[in-house]
Amino acid sequence: MASRTLTITQRADWEAAMLQAAQIDPDGGYQGEILNFESTARLFKDLTERRWRLITALQEAGRTLGLRELARRVGRDASRVSADVAVLVELGLVERTERGGVICPYDDIHLDIHARRMRHQAA
């Protein structure tokens, strides 16, 4: 199975983010996938510390885990883990298997967030 990578970006201009995602490297190879959030508020609402821990636990496992096993590994209640996994599935960060387990399909996830000082124009 080929290695998959994901870059998580925060750009208000979602069209620019999609154009970047559509770019192909000169050799026509795989450049990874992009998940864009239009605001940092939305990014941090959806990618909470607890949800991020679920992603890293799945990556550390390197295989499919059942919800109860995942909950045990992160020390949380299975029903709350199930609710967080549902959000992560909707975002495409984890996938459910036919047998009900979950897996993180990405070998590498990179966050690309920028904060820039606004330049003031002279009046």
Using DSSP bridges, classify how beta strands 95-96 and 102-103 pair: parallel, antiparallel or unpaired: antiparallel
Asked whether residue 122 is domain-assigned, the answer is no
Q: How many domains does the chain have?
A: 1
Which runs of E-coded beta strand occur in 21-104?
33-37, 95-96, 102-103
pTM: 0.81
43 vs 83: CA distance, rounded Å:
17
Asked whether residue 118 is domain-assigned, the answer is no
What CATH number has the domain bearing residue 94?
Answer: 1.10.10.10
Asked whether residue 54 is domain-assigned, the answer is yes
Residue 65, class by beta-carbon neighbours within 10 Å (0-12 exposed, 13-18 middle, 19+ buried)? Answer: buried
Asked whether residue 10 is domain-assigned, the answer is yes
Mean of pLDDT over the chain: 87
Asked whether residue 76 is domain-assigned, the answer is yes
Torsion on CA atoms 42, 43, 45, 46, rounded to nearest 10: 110
Asked whether residue 123 is domain-assigned, the answer is no
Residue 102 tokens, joined: 């979950």
> What confidence score (pLDDT) does residue 92 get?
94
> What confidence score (pLDDT) does residue 70 get?
98
Give the tens place of pLDDT for each residue, 71-122.
999 999 999 999 999 999 999 999 999 999 999 999 999 998 877 777 766 6
Asked whether residue 32 is domain-assigned, the answer is yes
Give the tens place of pLDDT for each residue, 17-63.
556 655 555 566 677 888 999 899 999 999 999 999 999 999 999 99
Residue 13, class by beta-carbon neighbours within 10 Å (0-12 exposed, 13-18 middle, 19+ buried)? Answer: exposed
Asked whether residue 105 is domain-assigned, the answer is yes
> What confidence score (pLDDT) does residue 13 get?
74
Give the tens place of pLDDT for each residue, 51-76.
999 999 999 999 999 999 999 999 99
- Percentage above 70 pLDDT, the chain: 83
Q: Please give the single-letter amino acid code of residue 107.
A: D
Q: Give the range of the structural domain holding residue 102, as residue numbers without chain letter.
A: 5-112
